[in-house]
Amino acid sequence: MVLDDVTGRHKSKVDTFVMLYLLGDVYQVPMLRNAVMRALFDHLNYRESIFPYYGTCNLVFEKLPAEDPFCRLLVDHACRKKSSFTTALTELNATFLFELANRWVRVVYEEPKIDPLNHKLRIQDYLIEGED
Protein backbone atom coordinates (compact mmCIF):
# COMPACT_ATOMS: atom_id res chain seq x y z
CA MET A 1 0.00 0.00 0.00
CA VAL A 2 0.99 3.58 -0.61
CA LEU A 3 0.75 6.31 2.02
CA ASP A 4 -1.13 9.50 1.20
CA ASP A 5 1.22 12.49 1.30
CA VAL A 6 -1.35 14.77 2.95
CA THR A 7 -3.13 12.54 5.46
CA GLY A 8 -0.47 9.93 6.09
CA ARG A 9 -3.07 7.17 5.80
CA HIS A 10 -2.95 4.27 3.40
CA LYS A 11 -4.36 4.86 -0.04
CA SER A 12 -6.72 2.27 -1.42
CA LYS A 13 -7.78 1.40 -4.94
CA VAL A 14 -10.94 3.37 -4.30
CA ASP A 15 -8.85 6.50 -3.61
CA THR A 16 -7.38 6.14 -7.09
CA PHE A 17 -10.85 5.68 -8.57
CA VAL A 18 -12.01 8.83 -6.76
CA MET A 19 -9.16 10.93 -8.15
CA LEU A 20 -9.74 9.67 -11.69
CA TYR A 21 -13.49 10.22 -11.44
CA LEU A 22 -13.01 13.76 -10.09
CA LEU A 23 -10.62 14.46 -12.98
CA GLY A 24 -13.28 13.28 -15.42
CA ASP A 25 -15.87 15.39 -13.63
CA VAL A 26 -13.79 18.59 -13.64
CA TYR A 27 -12.90 18.24 -17.32
CA GLN A 28 -16.34 16.86 -18.29
CA VAL A 29 -15.07 13.56 -19.72
CA PRO A 30 -18.03 11.17 -19.38
CA MET A 31 -16.12 8.26 -20.94
CA LEU A 32 -13.49 8.48 -18.18
CA ARG A 33 -16.17 8.68 -15.49
CA ASN A 34 -17.95 5.63 -16.94
CA ALA A 35 -14.69 3.68 -17.14
CA VAL A 36 -13.99 4.52 -13.49
CA MET A 37 -17.53 3.54 -12.51
CA ARG A 38 -17.10 0.14 -14.17
CA ALA A 39 -13.79 -0.44 -12.36
CA LEU A 40 -15.22 0.75 -9.03
CA PHE A 41 -18.34 -1.37 -9.51
CA ASP A 42 -16.23 -4.48 -10.14
CA HIS A 43 -13.99 -3.67 -7.16
CA LEU A 44 -16.88 -3.11 -4.75
CA ASN A 45 -18.70 -6.23 -5.89
CA TYR A 46 -15.65 -8.42 -5.36
CA ARG A 47 -16.56 -10.71 -2.50
CA GLU A 48 -13.70 -9.70 -0.21
CA SER A 49 -13.64 -5.99 -0.93
CA ILE A 50 -13.81 -3.68 2.05
CA PHE A 51 -15.81 -0.50 2.15
CA PRO A 52 -13.79 2.62 1.28
CA TYR A 53 -12.07 4.58 4.02
CA TYR A 54 -14.17 7.21 5.77
CA GLY A 55 -11.93 9.93 4.36
CA THR A 56 -12.62 8.66 0.86
CA CYS A 57 -16.39 8.89 1.40
CA ASN A 58 -15.99 12.37 2.83
CA LEU A 59 -13.92 13.52 -0.15
CA VAL A 60 -16.47 12.19 -2.62
CA PHE A 61 -19.37 13.91 -0.88
CA GLU A 62 -17.41 17.17 -0.51
CA LYS A 63 -16.53 17.31 -4.22
CA LEU A 64 -19.63 15.85 -5.88
CA PRO A 65 -23.37 16.44 -5.54
CA ALA A 66 -25.22 13.71 -3.64
CA GLU A 67 -27.12 12.69 -6.78
CA ASP A 68 -23.90 11.98 -8.69
CA PRO A 69 -23.61 8.30 -9.74
CA PHE A 70 -20.39 7.86 -7.72
CA CYS A 71 -22.12 9.05 -4.53
CA ARG A 72 -25.18 6.92 -5.22
CA LEU A 73 -23.01 3.83 -5.74
CA LEU A 74 -21.18 4.36 -2.43
CA VAL A 75 -24.49 4.74 -0.58
CA ASP A 76 -26.10 1.75 -2.30
CA HIS A 77 -23.04 -0.39 -1.68
CA ALA A 78 -22.90 0.60 1.99
CA CYS A 79 -26.56 -0.36 2.40
CA ARG A 80 -26.08 -3.62 0.55
CA LYS A 81 -23.04 -4.59 2.61
CA LYS A 82 -24.60 -3.38 5.85
CA SER A 83 -21.48 -1.37 6.55
CA SER A 84 -21.20 -0.33 10.16
CA PHE A 85 -20.44 3.32 10.74
CA THR A 86 -21.36 3.49 14.41
CA THR A 87 -17.81 4.11 15.56
CA ALA A 88 -17.18 6.90 13.08
CA LEU A 89 -20.42 8.86 12.91
CA THR A 90 -18.70 12.07 13.96
CA GLU A 91 -16.02 11.60 11.31
CA LEU A 92 -18.36 11.11 8.35
CA ASN A 93 -19.65 13.77 6.00
CA ALA A 94 -23.18 14.83 6.98
CA THR A 95 -24.47 14.55 3.40
CA PHE A 96 -23.17 11.00 3.14
CA LEU A 97 -24.92 10.08 6.41
CA PHE A 98 -28.14 11.72 5.28
CA GLU A 99 -28.07 9.91 1.92
CA LEU A 100 -27.32 6.63 3.69
CA ALA A 101 -30.26 7.06 6.06
CA ASN A 102 -32.51 8.17 3.20
CA ARG A 103 -31.59 5.09 1.16
CA TRP A 104 -32.36 2.78 4.10
CA VAL A 105 -35.76 4.41 4.54
CA ARG A 106 -36.52 3.87 0.84
CA VAL A 107 -35.43 0.24 1.07
CA VAL A 108 -37.50 -0.45 4.18
CA TYR A 109 -40.64 1.53 3.39
CA GLU A 110 -40.81 2.06 -0.36
CA GLU A 111 -39.10 -1.05 -1.68
CA PRO A 112 -40.03 -3.72 0.90
CA LYS A 113 -39.75 -6.55 -1.59
CA ILE A 114 -36.08 -5.82 -2.20
CA ASP A 115 -33.59 -7.42 0.15
CA PRO A 116 -30.64 -4.98 0.10
CA LEU A 117 -28.18 -7.76 0.94
CA ASN A 118 -29.22 -9.97 -1.96
CA HIS A 119 -30.27 -7.28 -4.40
CA LYS A 120 -27.85 -7.20 -7.30
CA LEU A 121 -26.58 -3.75 -8.13
CA ARG A 122 -26.57 -3.04 -11.87
CA ILE A 123 -23.77 -1.04 -13.46
CA GLN A 124 -26.27 0.49 -15.89
CA ASP A 125 -27.82 2.40 -12.98
CA TYR A 126 -24.58 4.32 -12.42
CA LEU A 127 -23.33 5.13 -15.92
CA ILE A 128 -23.74 8.46 -17.67
CA GLU A 129 -26.26 7.90 -20.43
CA GLY A 130 -25.12 8.16 -24.03
CA GLU A 131 -21.42 8.00 -23.21
CA ASP A 132 -19.88 4.58 -23.49
Domain boundaries, the chain: 13-126
| Predicted local confidence at residue 120, as pLDDT | 65
pLDDT, tens digit (0-9, with 9 covering 90-100), for 53-80: 778 888 899 999 999 999 988 888 877 7
CB atoms within 10 A of CB 24: 20
CA distance 97 to 75: 9
| Predicted local confidence at residue 2, as pLDDT | 46
| Backbone φ, ψ for residue 112 (5° rounding) | -65, -20
CA distance 122 to 12: 23
| Predicted local confidence at residue 4, as pLDDT | 47
* Residue scoring higher pLDDT (101 or 7): 101
84 — pLDDT class (breaks 50, 70, 90): low
* Residue scoring higher pLDDT (123 or 61): 61
Q: Is the pTM higher than 0.95?
A: no
The CA radius of gyration of the chain, in Å to the nearest whole number, is 15
pLDDT, tens digit (0-9, with 9 covering 90-100), for 6-52: 454 556 778 889 999 999 999 999 999 999 999 988 888 776 666 67
